Chain A
Amino acid sequence: MVMEIVCPAGTPAALRAAVKAGAHTVYCGFNDETNARNFPGLNFDRAEMRDGITFAHQHGAKVLVAINTFPRAGDEAIWHRAVHDAEACGADAVILADPGLLDYTARNHTGLRRHLSVQAAAANADIINFYAENFGVKRVVLPRVLSVPEIAAINSETEVETEVFVFGGLCVMAEGRCSLSSYATGLSPNMNGVCSPASHVDYRQDAGVLDARLGGYLIHRVNKDEPAPYPTLCKGCFSVGDKTGHLFEDPVSLNAEKLIPQLQKAGVTALKIEGRQRSKSYVAQVVRNFRAAVDALDAGRPLPEGMLARLSEGQAMTTGAYKKTWR
């Protein structure tokens, strides 16, 4: 069976590009704080979501709606309405992280398939089975902290489908619990759907040297011939004493393309591509690349050579935790 390619879409045009490029499934979110990519100019209003889902279904693709931030006390109705509207728009599933919202959805939208977001950071079979037994979760998006043997161990102990990231930006390895953005800006991906909100980012380029500030703090400076990273604290380059370096993680993108056969053997159902903040050009290129890879694997052909380095943060790639070689 061909592994499912799950692709990001930040706009209706990106959704159409993903479907045309061969995505089996597209994930996207409403244009508010209910999803973890709440950036200016991105996401879908209700009419766009309905039209996008109709388009995807007409072309044989599924749409998952990410409602994966954590509801703010007193404002839960915003998140409840998002679940209701996702179902009304025809979503094939919702991607949720908050146990309260999972419980609400399981009780009030029994026919709506529920996936567990990476934001829930469910990293062992016990917690995954807990979510399945209590909230009827059918699929879990695994956090990017696991090696391939660990993923295989999880799959041997659960009936819940597993979905793993194979390409795109990497986060600090405690997803759903990262507060770095909050320290500098007061806003976080967990509560507001924004990591390093654009409104708090300031770039200055002088004589080819690019400074990036987040919430007023200089977080990295790159020289003329160096690639630029995203303006996130986790990718910041800091000086401590006489040493300067990336304190949390290097600015590189995940690319687990070569590990797809191993991930299939480990029992993984779906391969997820990160990047709802990226363009339709990115979406089309990455989807085509990964669709060709899973089709080749299914047909018993060698995997095609990838061409994705240029699309990667820092123009460099890693297999992340899948092959653990911590420094």
Chain B
Amino acid sequence: MSEPQNQLPHCPVALAAALRVLPLAPLSLSLTVFSRKIAKNNPGLFQRLGEYDRTDFVLDPVDLPIVMCLNPNRGQPKVKLTRRSALGTARISGPLAALLGLVHGAFDGDALFFSRDLVIEGDTGAALALRNAIDDAELDLAQEAGVLSGPFARPLHQLIALAERRTGLCLTRPEDATIW
């Protein structure tokens, strides 16, 4: 229910179409490897989860035909993508733009909740812990991907910057948070 002047960007149609046909097993494996690298670089994120460090989270980008099941697994996270509805202890749903904006600290979770762009279901305490832990971690997914890609880091960053400009999605950590 974003106001017109503050509309969240739409997820690219091509991405949604691709995710309808791409095999999800290799994508899940890649995301698990990626999330473990992030875990290694950001141990504080998992400490901040406290009692929820083995909770099954379902992250549901409502404009994509997949959901992401994430278990922090005490710093050795497991990620699984599925096209079916998934059961978890806590579920966070919203447009991909909102979820990426939260990861990068660009948006305020409560403001997205007030505006109904974000929906929390299941264990509210777990969802809150995950949101607060991620907000404190100051993640930059592009930076993390760049570290993983070695000599291809520079072209990757250029590609991500281009994708960010074209789609309006928040793919990097902004210097100045956008108001939402």
**Residues on A facing B (Cβ under 8 Å):** 10-14, 17, 39-42, 197-199, 201-205, 210, 222, 224-229, 231, 277-282, 284-285, 307-308, 310-315
Contacts and interface: CB of A to CB of B under 8 A. Distances in A.
Contacts of A222: 116
Interface of B: 1, 3, 6, 48-52, 102, 105-111, 113-116, 119-121, 123-133, 135-138, 176-180
A227 B106 contact: no
Given A40-B50, A41-B129, A310 B115 contact: yes
B119 to A, nearest CB: 5
Contact of B119 (A202, A205, A227): A205
A280 B106 CA distance: 9
23 contacts: A12-B136, A13-B136, A39-B132, A40-B50, A40-B129, A41-B48, A41-B129, A41-B136, A197-B125, A198-B128, A199-B124, A201-B124, A225-B116, A226-B1, A227-B115, A279-B107, A281-B180, A285-B179, A308-B179, A311-B179, A313-B110, A315-B114, A315-B115
Contact of A311 (B51, B108, B132): B108
A285 B106 CA distance: 11
A40 B114 contact: no
A13 B116 contact: no
Contacts, number: 124
Contacts of B123: 199
Contact of B136 (A11, A284, A308): A11
A13 B105 contact: yes
Instruction: Summarize B's interface: helix, strand, loop or mixed.
Output: helix
A310 B52 contact: no
A194 to B, nearest CB: 10
Nearest to A197: B125
Nearest to B131: A41
Contacts of B135: 11, 13-14, 279-281
Contacts of B129: 40-41
Contacts of A204: 121
Given A284-B176, A310-B3, A228 B116 contact: yes
Contacts of B125: 40, 197-199, 201
A226 B114 CA distance: 9
A129 B132 CA distance: 39
B26 to A, nearest CB: 32
B108 to A, nearest CB: 4
Q: Of residues A10, A314, A315, which shows the largest number of chain B Cβ atoms within 10 Å of its Cβ?
A: A315
Given A227-B115, A284-B177, A278 B128 contact: no
Contact of B116 (A202, A210, A278): A210
Q: Of residues B50, B115, B120, B178, which shows the largest number of chain A Cβ atoms within 10 Å of its Cβ?
A: B120
